[in-house]
Each structure stands twice: as structure tokens, then as C-alpha cells.
A = this chain, B = another copy of it.
Amino acid sequence: MNDKIGSIAHDMPDEGKLCELSEFFRVFGDSTRIRILYALSKSELCVCDLAQLLGASQSAISHQLQILRTSRLVRYRREGKTVIYSLDDEHIFSMLNIGIEHLEE
């Protein structure tokens, strides 16, 4: 059984990688951010649309968007006074769907 542990230990990604992985998942672990991501999976949206849609303050949304930007989960571009956000890649979409599938069992 020490062999078992040894071989698993050998196959494990290093702690840094698994830490990054948990940080990646943690970003999905907040309902405001999940709702932002879900909304963006339907359409690109500006900050004030998101705030209105989610019934949250502009500041709260902006703070959460910063986290999503830092994690590279969203893209953004400025158009005049507004800034328009969209999902960064399709992994995000499959991620949401796997979660939803899991809950629907």
C-alpha cells in the first residue's frame, strides 16, 4: 500500500499546478460571477446592462468583472462611454454546462 501511495504521488501534478487549478475553479464559486458568466454566454453585455440584469450595484459588478478579467474568463472592449464584456473561450461554456448537467441528476 506504500507502493500505491508512491505511484499516485508520482502521477500527481505538482502542488503549484493543482493550486492554479483550484484558483481557476474558485472563480466559478460565487453566484454573482456565475450569473455574469451565464448572462455573457447568451450575449455580450456592458457593465450597466449586467448590473441591471442581476439587480446588483455597478460597483459590485465592476469588482467581479475585474476578477473575471484577471482570470482571463472574459474579454472586453470599450465603445464610447461603455465597456462591453464577453466570454473569453468556449471552455467556460462547457464548464457551465457540465455543472448544470451534474445538478440535474
Complex Cα distance, B98 from A89, in Å, reads: 12
Between-chain CB contacts (< 8 Å), 13 pairs: A4-B45, A4-B49, A8-B42, A8-B53, A13-B38, A18-B31, A21-B100, A22-B33, A23-B29, A24-B102, A25-B26, A25-B29, A26-B28
What is the predominant secondary structure among interface residues of chain A facing chain B?
A: helix
> Are A22 and B30 within 8 A (Cβ)?
yes
Q: Is A67 an interface residue (CB 8 A)?
A: no
Within 8 A of B (CB), among A30-68: 30-31, 33-35, 38-39, 42-43, 45, 49, 52-53
Residues on B with C-beta less than 8 A from A27 are 29
Interface residues contributed by chain A, number (CB under 8 Å): 47
Given A1-B49, A5-B49, A9-B53, the answer on whether A22 and B28 have CB atoms closer than 8 Å is yes
- List the B side residues contacting A101 at CB < 8 Å: 91
Given A29-B26, A29-B29, A95-B98, A18 contacting B38 (CB threshold 8 A)? yes
